[in-house]
A = this chain, B = another copy of it.
Amino acid sequence: MLKSLQNDILHEAESKDLKVIIISAEGPVFSSGHDLRELTEEQGHDHHVEVFRICSEVMMLIRNHPVPIIAMINGLATAAGCQLVASCDIAVASDKSSFATPGVNVGLFCSTPGVALGRAVPRKVALEMLCTGEPISAQQALLHGLLSKVVPEEQLEEETMRIARKIASLSRPVMSLGKAMFYKQLTQDLGTAYHLTSQAMVDNLALGDAQEGIKAFIQKRKPTWTH
């Protein structure tokens, strides 16, 4: 499953025609994370190492991907499934969705999900989820920053597609430059962050699409991106 997800995310990643990716699921569960049958003693130490290596690779691939990746959640997202939501750039959920990191219930603390969760929500919220294994609702997830937006189930696809279409209508190289720089500066001290992003603004202005965008704005017309 992780390898298939990895392949799908990498598919035509460098194509100018790819502008945005949506990760969604069929049925009442968005993702419940790892199959515990893969984590028994019999599977062995090396297999365990491999499972978490590829899982972390997929989560970092989302971060490092040139286009924004949106999670569309309609149901339960637990353990590495909750990690997947927290790892996407944008997350839209139906109000019936819920989120948990229940590994403690089976004696396996959700340490890798905690990486993404702990960077998305306040630490007291993350620790209560991680230490008790109990779920939070979509509204609580929104309140605490795990989601970008919550809508009624019947509007989920419409709202997600609206955001995706908006992103797809914009310049891909501008979006790529911006997404990469956002994550890069976030962990730097303020001076370094402004040094890096000031340079990024100047580089961005040198792109054809920026000059076209500014010209179109001044001329009060729609821009035509060349990507």
Complex partner residue of A115 from B36, B120, B146, B193, CB under 8 angstroms: B193
A90 touches B213 (CB 8 A): no
Say whether A131 contacts B68, CB under 8 Å: yes
Q: Which of A119-151 contact B (CB under 8 A)?
A: 119-128, 130-134, 143-149
Measured in the bound complex, the distance between the Cα atoms of B149 and A53 in whole Å is 34
- Bound Cα distance from A147 to B122, whole angstroms: 9
In the complex, which residues 156-201 of chain A have their Cβ closer than 8 Å to any Cβ of chain B?
A: 163, 166-167, 170-171, 174-175, 177-179, 181-182, 185-187, 189-191, 193-195, 197-198, 200-201
Of B190, B204, B206, the contact of A109 (CB 8 Å cutoff): B204
Inter-chain contact A205/B132, CB cutoff 8 Å: no
Minimal beta-carbon separation of A105 from chain B (angstroms): 7
In the complex, A90 Cα to B133 Cα: how many Å? 13
Q: A185, B225: Cβ atoms under 8 Å?
A: no
- Asked if A209 is at the interface of the complex by the 8 Å CB criterion, the answer is yes
Q: Is the CB of B108 within 8 A of A214?
A: yes
Are the C-beta atoms of A114 and B182 separated by less than 8 Å?
yes
Does A91 count as interface, using CB distance less than 8 angstroms?
Answer: yes
A209 contacts B107, C-beta separation under 8 Å: yes
Q: Is A212 an interface residue (CB 8 A)?
A: yes
In the assembled complex, A10 has its CB within 8 A of some CB on chain B:
no
